[in-house]
Amino acid sequence: MFQFDGGKKERETCFVTHGAMGHLDPAQPPVRRKPYSTILAVPFAELILPQELYESIQIDMDSKFSVPTYSRVILPLAELLSGDFFTEYIKKGNILMLSEGKQGVNDVYSLRDGVLTLALEKESYERAGLAGEPDGAKGKRGARARWLVEINLRQPSMLHGKKGFDRIVYAFKNVLNKPVTWLFCNLEGEGPSISGSLGQTFSRQDQLSPKYNSWPSS
């Protein structure tokens, strides 16, 4: 659904896990050992299943999982850190956001689990003055220098009046201040509802259900 950029480390390494899964307790599924920790770390997954298992899982998924609602939101970065939007959606809520732009070409922003990720061109990064690290595979010829900045907005230090947080707000208001179009998904509600924060800057887009494909057995 959300094609979040996992950063340079995830793009350079491919992990493969195999073996018997063993017995699973549906009430307490494992979250720390592999492959479960790996699956939980990514926002998008594809399953390849035998026909009989697919039919059982599809019925179970359709009955237990709600269909998420996605909206189009036009906001500058600074608005994410102000008012009810910052308090209710980021500090307390559970939302996913992905900005317009092409990965590896434009400045692209994403928000997941309270972590705001900025994939910036070199010029934007230097002007913003935020701490980050080089993004992309090393030694790739012809590639423009890019930088990755990750900000955990749920940390206790992420509050107005704190020096580090005010530096971020300054960069968003004075450098990375262009309004951008976001894909917005509220995992704990239907869609944007805080009128004081969003006003008329959003429009309902669509509901997205899991996509199923089948292939004939050879």
Closest residue by Cα to residue 150 from 132, 135, 138: 132
Beta strands in the chain (DSSP E): 69-75, 95-99, 108-112, 115-121, 133-135, 146-152, 180-186, 202-207
pTM: 0.66
| H runs (alpha helix) in 27-84 | 36-40, 51-64, 77-80, 83-84
Count the neighbouring beta carbons within 10 Å of the beta carbon of residue 39: 11
CB contact at 8 A, 130 and 146: no
Per-residue pLDDT of the chain (218 residues; tens, 9 = 90+): 455 555 554 455 666 766 676 777 777 878 787 777 777 776 655 667 787 787 777 777 777 666 667 788 888 999 999 888 898 889 988 888 999 888 778 899 999 989 999 999 999 999 999 999 988 655 455 556 789 999 999 999 999 889 999 999 999 999 999 999 998 888 876 555 544 455 445 555 555 555 666 776 65
